[in-house]
Structure 1
Amino acid sequence: MDENIGSDLQQEWLEIHDRHENVILRILEENRVLHDKVEQLESEKFTLQKAFSKLRQEVEDSESAKRDLQSKLASLTHREEEIVLTLLDGDGYIFDRTLLCKGESGGREAAQILTNGIMRYIAKQPDRPSQVVLWTMWFLSREKLEATLVRSGVCSQEQFRYFMKGFSSAHPLFSVVDVSDGKEAADAKIREHLRKFIKHRSFYRVILGVDHDNGYDVAISAEMTNGYANRMVLLRAHSNIARQIEALQLGSMSIDDLFLVDGLGPGPSSVVLPQRDPWSSFKTRAYASPVMEKRKSVYGSPPSPIDTLASWRRDKAPTRDPAPCHAFYLTKRCCDKDCPYGHDYELSEQELQKLTQWARAQPCSYATEGERCPRLDCIYGHKCSRGSDCPFRWNGTCKFTGPDSHD
C-alpha cells in the first residue's frame, strides 16, 4: 500500500516538474521571440532615425536654397546700387563756353548738370535700380584741346585747367583722363572701356558721348550683337549726328546747356566757325589750313561726305592733279592736316574702283605686324594677291611682309 502511495507521489511530482519545465521553455521561447522583435525594432528605429536626419537636412537645404532665391529675387527686383558709366570723347564733346569761363566753379556746375540729366533719364526707366552709382570718365588730349579753346577765345588756359579740376573734384568717380596726342587716342580708350564693362551685371547703363564720330560704330555694333543693346545709351550733343552712329538706333538722351552744339561761337579774339556741318566743304587749300585744323581738333574725324556731294566741284578731266586722297574717298575721312592729295573731286564709279584696287595693293599695318585687323571696313590689303607664287617675295621687294601675307 505504501509503495503505491510513493509511486503516485513520484509520478505526480514528475508531471508537475514537466509542466514547470514546459512553462519555462515556453517563457524562454517567447523571450527569444520578443528579443528578436526588439532587435528588429531597434534596427528599424535606427533606419528611421537616419532617414529622418537625412530628410531634415534636405529640408534645411531646401529652406536655405529658398532663402537664397528669395534674396536673389529681391536683389533683381530692387536692383540696389548699380553703376551708370558715362564715357565722354573730349575730341567732340566740348563743354559750354559759359561753364568753361567759370573755371573751377564751372567744372563743378558741369558735373552737377550732367548728374541731374542722367538721374532724370534713369528715373524714367521702368527697370531702374533703387540706388545708382555714377561713374564718369572724360577722355581728352589736354594740350590739344586747351590750345584750341585758347586760340578760339573760348576761355583762357587757366580757366580751362581750373574747369577740369572742378569737374573731377565734384564727384569721387568723375575723372578727366588725359590721353596721348596720337590719332584716335580717346577712341581707343573708350572702345576698350566699353568692351570691358558692358558685360558686367553691376553696370546698369553705359552712356556714350560719341555721337560725332563714325569710328565707334563697329565697337557699338559688336556689343549690340552680344546682346547688350539695352545697356548702351547715346548721349546726343550735336545737331548733326554721325551717320553710322545714328543708323545704329541706340536709345538716346540729351542734356541741355551742357555742351557746345554747333562749334565754337563768337568770343573775344576768337575764330567764328559757321553754324553748320564744319566738314561740308573740302577745298584742298582749306583742308590744310589752320581753321580746318581747329575744326578737326574739336570735332574729331569728319562725318561721311556723302551728304555734301552737291557742294563738291564737278571735274570730268581724265587726270587729277593732285591725285585723289584714297583715305578720304574710301573711308570718308582723312586726319592728316598736311595731306597733299585732293579732297574736292566728284569721282566716277570707275575712278573709285581704281582707287579701291590701289588701296588693296597697299598692306594693312595690322597684317604687316601679324595682328588681326579690328576694322571691318579696312580699305587696305591683308594678303598679297599673288599668293605663294609671288615673285617679289623671294627677293624681299614685296610690300606684304606679314607672316601670313602669302598663305
Structure 2
Amino acid sequence: GHRVVTLIDGDGAIFSKELIAQGQAGGLLAAQKLSDSIIQHLSEKYGSHQYQLWVHVFLNKKGLTETFGRLGSPLLKSNFEEFITGFNQATERFSMLDVGNAKEAADAKIKCHLEDDIRLPQTFKVIFGGCHDNGYVTNLRSQITAGYKNKLILLKSYTEMASGIAELDLPSLTIPDLFVPQKLGVTETAAPRLPSYSSATKVPAVGVLKEANKLPPIAEPTLTNPAPTNPPHASYSAVIASPYKREPTPELDSSEGSASGESDYLDDLPHDAVVAAMASSGRYINPNIVDLSLDKPPPCTLFYLATCKHGASCKYSHDYYLEAEHYESMRSNARKQPCPAVNRGEACTWGEDCCYGHHCSALSKCHFLKQGRCKFIGGM
C-alpha cells in the first residue's frame, strides 16, 4: 500500500505566524501546503502513486494561545482557534488535536501512533515532525532497530534539528515557510526592559492580512541531513518587534474594582473586528500607574488570560505589550473576582485553569461575608 502517516508535535513544530494570522483561511492554506509538498516529495523520490496521506498534529492549544499573547503576538492568539478549525476542515484525514496541558501529552500521543502506524504493512512512510525534541530519539532508534528505518522521513520545523535526532542519519524533508524556524521564547539572561511609556507610546500598525495573503508559492521540498546544533532562542527585542498587533476583546465588570468583569462568552469575533484590531497601534503600560485597572483604558483580563469574544466592541484594551509582572498582577486581581459560572451555581468548563476565583480566598474570615456582601455567592 501507499499509506503515508505524518505525525507532528505541534507544541514545537509551530506553523508560521503568517498562516496563523489568517485564521481559518490560514489553516486551510497550511494543510494545502503540507499536502502538496509531501506528495511532490514522495513522487520525486519514489514515483507517482495514489498516496493516501494522513496527518495528525497534537498540541496544547491553551498553552500555545497564552504563549502567543505573552510574546506580543495578540493577532496569533486571537486567530489560533480559527486556524485549527481551518486545518481540520481541509480534508477528512487531517486532524489538529488539543491534548491539553498535561506534561508531555503530545509526546505520548505521537510515540503511540509512531509505534502502531509504522508496523502496519499498508504504511508506506511515516513522516515524523518532532525533530526539535531529543526526547523522541529512543523511540525512533527502536523503530530503526526493528527494521523500519526505510519507512521513516523526518519533517524539519526548526532550522536546526535536535542533535540526537540528527545523528540518526534519517532522510529529512523541509517545507519552506510552513513552520516558525526557531523556538518561541525569550532568553532568560539580561532581557532588556521595555521602552518607557513616554518614549514608546505608539507602535506602527502593520496590515497583517494583506501581507499574509502575499505568501510565496510552495517551494520545492528539500532532502537534507543537517549538522546537529541546538535551536536558537528569539531575543526579547525581536519578540516585541513582532508585526502582529493586539485584537480588541472584553473583560469583566470594571465596577468590581479591577479591569475584569463578566464576559458571558459572546459571539465569535467578526471579521470586521479583526480588521479594526489590526488598524490599532500597540501600547505600553504606564510605569507610573501601580494598578493596571487604572490605566486608560485598562487591559482586558479575558483577552490576556483566557479568551475574550467581544471583538472590536470591547471597552477594554487588547493592544498592550505586557511583561511577566503585569501578567502576575492581572492573574492576582482576576482571582479576587468570582467566576460567573460558579456564582450562578453552574460547573465552570475551565476548571482549575479558570482565571477567576471559585471561592473567596478569605473563606470564613471574610469581612464582607459577615455583612452579607461577599461577591462569592456560588454554593451559598
Give me the TM-score of the superposition, normalised by structure 2.
0.48
Greater Rg over alpha carbons, structure: 1
Give me the TM-score of the superposition, normalised by structure 1.
0.45
Higher relative contact order (CA 8 A, sep 6+): 2
Larger helix share, 1 or 2: 1
